[in-house]
């Protein structure tokens, strides 16, 4: 009688451990399926947080330098210092990256790896990135930004336009 109880407890513990491992395997497989969404979402959050950091006054796209394979934006901090950054698809490493514009660029911040192609659309207050991954999954990253400020000279012309000379 005691032997039967011990044997049945042993069998119950064995079955529960097998079920636990099976559930962990299913959970792990499910997470791998959703990895695409997580990579794209993570890239969006990272770039959005970078653009709108705590010390950022405004961020605007550079429409004149925009092309279908890259775009640029300017981040202005609270001290009104401007830094220009480019977002581009780096074909050699199949990565979408952000780098600081200028002669002494240095490194870059990778956003998404294993990209088959990326196309950019830049509007006066928006950057849209159409991404196609190697496994043919498509995503759009849309960043809402400020409009590019007008130069002071243009503002003065607009102010004086309605006044008559006496």
Domain range annotation of the chain: 55-149
Q: If you average pLDDT over residues 72-85, what whole number do you get? A: 91
Q: If you average pLDDT over residues 60-86, what whole number do you get? A: 88
Predicted local confidence at residue 36, as pLDDT: 55
pLDDT surpassing 50 at residue 19:
yes
Question: What mean pLDDT is reported for the chain?
Answer: 83
CA distances from 71 to 48, 87, 159 (A): 15, 5, 32
Q: If you average pLDDT over residues 115-129, what whole number do you get? A: 92
Is the distance from CB of 112 to CB of 124 less than 8 angstroms?
A: no
Predicted local confidence at residue 105, as pLDDT: 59
- Alpha-carbon span 73 to 124, nearest angstrom: 11
Predicted local confidence at residue 148, as pLDDT: 85
Give the chain's end-to-end CA distance (angstroms, integer): 116
pTM exceeds 0.75 = no
- Alpha-carbon span 84 to 100, nearest angstrom: 6
């Amino acid at each position: 009688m005691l032997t039967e109880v011990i044997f049945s407890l042993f069998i119950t513990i064995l079955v529960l451990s097998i079920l636990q491992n099976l559930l962990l395997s299913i959970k792990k497989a499910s997470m791998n399926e959703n990895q695409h969404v997580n990579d794209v979402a993570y890239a969006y959050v990272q770039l959005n947080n970078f653009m709108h950091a705590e010390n950022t006054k405004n961020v605007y796209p550079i429409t004149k330098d925009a092309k279908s394979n890259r775009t640029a934006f300017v981040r202005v901090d609270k001290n009104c210092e401007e830094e220009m950054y480019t977002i581009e698809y780096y074909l050699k490493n199949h990565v979408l990256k952000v780098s600081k514009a200028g002669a002494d660029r240095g490194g870059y911040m990778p956003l998404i790896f294993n990209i088959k192609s990326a196309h950019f659309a830049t509007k006066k207050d928006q950057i849209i990135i159409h991404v196609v991954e190697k496994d043919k999954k498509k995503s759009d990253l849309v960043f809402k930004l400020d409009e590019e400020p007008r130069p002071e000279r243009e503002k003065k012309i607009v102010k004086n336009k309605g006044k008559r000379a006496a």
